[in-house]
Amino acid sequence: MPKYDIHVCLVSAQAAPNLLPILDNEFKPKKAVFVVSTKNEIKEKANALQQVFKQNRVDVEILELSNEFDFQSMEAELFDLLSKYEKEDIALNVTGGTKLMAIAAQNVFSGEKPIFYINTDKEEIIFISKENDQYIPSLKLHTKTLINTYLSSYNVSILKNKDDFNFHKLGVFTERFAMKPANYKYIISQLNSLSLNADNKNLEANFSDYSYDLKLILEDLSDAGLIEIKGDIVDFKNEATRSFLNGNWLEYFTYKQASSIPDVIDVDWNVEVVNSKYEKNKIGVNNELDVVFMARNKCHIIECKTVNFENEENKAKLQGYLDKLKSLKDYAGSLTKVCLVSFYPIPDTTKSRAEKDNIEIIDDYRIKNLKERIQNWILK
């Protein structure tokens, strides 16, 4: 495999094409030169990417262009860069930047130094330049991209994870809801209501007005030592249990299903993140990612819902959930894939809108085969 000591990277809004080559140990350079436009947004992207490169032991030098719309000046600045490293093992990653930047850079490097392009969809390196008058065959990228590394390259920080709590017993108990959803349609709405009513300092709620079937579930939870029953009062014992039974069980189930898929490199759930672009005095616009994982060098984000969308009030909120998923695509670049997993059915009209926005939906009885459906989604 060809390997170069220095990569010249054209920085753009998409970090992945410049990031992925340094995560392949067989192709990783010792140093990178970032070619950066005058836009503040791109300078911020370069700074975020620089931190990730340094964390991966790749030195970074930054070349700030004087005017990315002045082709002649760009060529001159890039010629100066090439002259500086004329005797070095340097190559151009032509994937990023603006079209004009890419054309100028390719003009300068053509016939002088190697040029390559990263096909992020197929996870491969395409060599544009020749070696000994022969084209070099494309090579597969061998990377294992972790969530934190990938998000950091897009200026996104993980603020905190879920509580330090062992969810295993709760997860095993609630798995029945996902495996036989038809049996629990009525119960889940009631469990949501009851656990929401217990959102108080005592973490308690009265269940006397709820169905007999829900009371049986509560008794089973009590027998397992997960909650306490005191007459007609249920004590959820801790906030982690209350929120888990208020819908977080579906996040956990989805997380466990994704964890068992071979293509999934790194996975987490209930993660709070912030894009530092919006930070002011360390206070930013935060988002909670129900489930997030890396597979095939793409970031996959899943929103999980256990609310019944046949209820008019909940149906009105549905578009808001889809809008959130659309906005989350900005968090990790255009290659980010998003999905809504819903215990209850989603209206067909909403599914049509979601499809146009490239939002995957897995709902209703389909969650029984959630692992298989996530696998198929990864391959799309």
Same domain, 198 and 130: no
Q: What tens digit of pLDDT does each residue of 259-290 get?
A: 999 999 999 999 999 886 654 444 446 789 99
- Residue 136 shares a structural domain with residue 261: no
Residue 163 sits in the same domain as residue 280: yes
Whether residues 217 and 322 fall in one domain: yes
Token pair listed for 232: 């007609």
Do 355 and 291 have their domain in common? yes
Give the pLDDT score at 242.
Answer: 98
Q: Do both 264 and 291 map to the same domain?
A: yes
Q: What is the pLDDT of residue 280?
A: 43
3-state secondary structure of 123: coil
Query: For position 277, what pLDDT does the model report?
Result: 62
**Any idea which of 269-278, 310-319, 332-341 has the lowest mean pLDDT?**
269-278
pLDDT above 70: residue 162: no
| pTM score, whole prediction | 0.93
Does 1 reside within a domain? no
Please give the average per-residue pLDDT across 221-229, as a whole number.
97
CATH code of the domain in which 77 resides: 3.40.50.10770
User: How much is the pLDDT for 132?
Assistant: 84
Residues 101 and 27 reside in one and the same domain: yes
**41 sits in which H/E element:** helix 40-55
Choose one of 125, 143, 161: the last residue of a domain. Answer: 143
228 in the same domain as 273: yes
pLDDT at 332: 82
Mean pLDDT of 44-52: 97
Residue 340: give its domain's CATH number. Answer: 3.40.1350.10
pLDDT in tens, 109-134: 998 999 999 999 999 999 999 888 89
Residue 258's closest CA among 156, 99, 147? Answer: 147
Residues 358 and 262 reside in one and the same domain: yes
Which of 84, 117, 143 is where one domain is finished?
143
Task: Indicate whether 68 belongs to any domain.
Answer: yes
Within a domain: residue 283? yes
Same domain, 49 and 181: no
Whether 321 and 303 have beta carbons less than 8 Å apart is answered as yes
**Same domain (yes/no): 232, 375:** yes
pLDDT of residue 165 exceeding 80, the answer is yes
Mean pLDDT over each residue of the chain, to the nearest integer: 94
Task: Name the least confident of 52-66, 148-162, 241-255, 270-284.
Answer: 270-284
Asked whether residue 276 is assigned to any structural domain, the reply reads: yes
Tally of domains within the chain = 2
pLDDT at residue number 334: 85
pLDDT for res 335: 85
Domain span at residue 233 reads 145-379
Q: Which residues contact 283 (CB under 8 A, 6 or more apart)?
A: none
So what's the pLDDT on residue 283? 44
252 domain-assigned: yes
What's the confidence (pLDDT) of residue 328?
Answer: 87
DSSP track, 62-110? EEE-S-TT-HHHHHHHHHHHHHHTTTS-EEEE-SSS-HHHHHHHHHHHT
pLDDT value at residue 285: 64
Query: Is residue 167 in some structural domain?
Result: yes
Higher pLDDT, 283 or 74: 74
Which of 143, 170, 204 is the C-terminal boundary of a domain?
143
Q: Looking at the structure, do residues 326 and 190 belong to the same domain, yes or no?
A: yes
Over residues 196-204, the mean pLDDT reads 97
3-state class (DSSP) for residue 126: strand
